[in-house]
Structure 1
Amino acid sequence: MSKMVHEFNDIIRKLRKDLFGKGPERIHTVFVENMAISTLYGNLTPTEKFIASSPEGTDMVHVARTKMIQNLYSVKPPEGLEELVGAKLVHLFSDMKVEEDIAVSVFVFDKNIAVDRG
């Protein structure tokens, strides 16, 4: 894993830990052109798992998780994210499969970030 991917994942993990009280257990990120695509595993807190034990609860956790992340990023990207990749974040697309505790975030930047930075 490149240093940039590792640092990118650390920023995502810290933000989610601060926001939800638990960060993902594992993150896999790839850079493709002007996008960073991150798959996050093991996101849910014990309380969220309990709430998600019913269909209504699953919907509540899904909406809360996805909306909170999207709202947070729309106000201000996490500290150091844009500096790390050398581009401005223009969109974040995020979704979660609560039953499998997997989330995907697609970060779209204003220019190519998938360059070899050694």
Structure 2
Amino acid sequence: MSQKIHEFNDIIRKLRKDLFGKGPERIHTVFVENMAISTLTGNVTPTEKFIASTADGLKMVHAARTTMIQDLYAQQTPEGMEELVGSKLLHLFSDIKIEEDIAISVFVFEDPISQ
């Protein structure tokens, strides 16, 4: 793993830990042209797992996870992210499968990301 990817993953982990009280256990990121595509596993807290044990709870945890992340990035790009990749963050697409505890985030930047 390159140093840039390692630092990018650290930014994601810290932000999610600060937001949800638990960061992902593993993050795998690849840079493709102007995108950073991250697969995050081990995201869900024990409380969220309990809440998600019903259909309504599952929908609530999913909505909270996806909406909170997208709103946070829309308000402010995480500190150091744009400097690290050398480009402005334009969009974040994010989703999570609560049952499998896996999330995908696609970060779209203005310019291609150099490796």
Q: Flag whether TM exceeds 0.5 (same fold).
A: yes
Root mean square deviation, CA, Å:
0.5
Which segments of structure 1 move beyond 4 Å, counting only runs of 4 or more? none
- Measured against aligned partners, the alpha-carbon deviations of 1:29-54 in whole angstroms (never above 9, x if no partner) come to 00000000000000011100000111
Percent identical: 76
Q: Give the superposition deviation at 1:21.
A: 0.1
Q: Per the alignment, in what secondary structure is the counterpart of residue 13 of structure 2?
A: helix
User: Any gaps of 5 or more consecutive residues in structure 1?
Assistant: none
Q: State the alpha-carbon separation in 1 of the partners of residues 58 and 104 from structure 2.
A: 17
User: Aligned letter for 1:50?
Assistant: F
TM value normalised by structure 1: 0.96
User: Aligned letter for 2:68?
Assistant: M
TM value normalised by structure 2: 0.99
Q: Give the superposition deviation at 1:4.
A: 0.2
Q: State the alpha-carbon separation in 1 of the partners of residues 11 and 98 from structure 2.
A: 22
Match of residue 86 from structure 1: 86
User: Aligned letter for 1:95?
Assistant: D
User: Any gaps of 5 or more consecutive residues in structure 2?
Assistant: none
Match of residue 10 from structure 1: 10
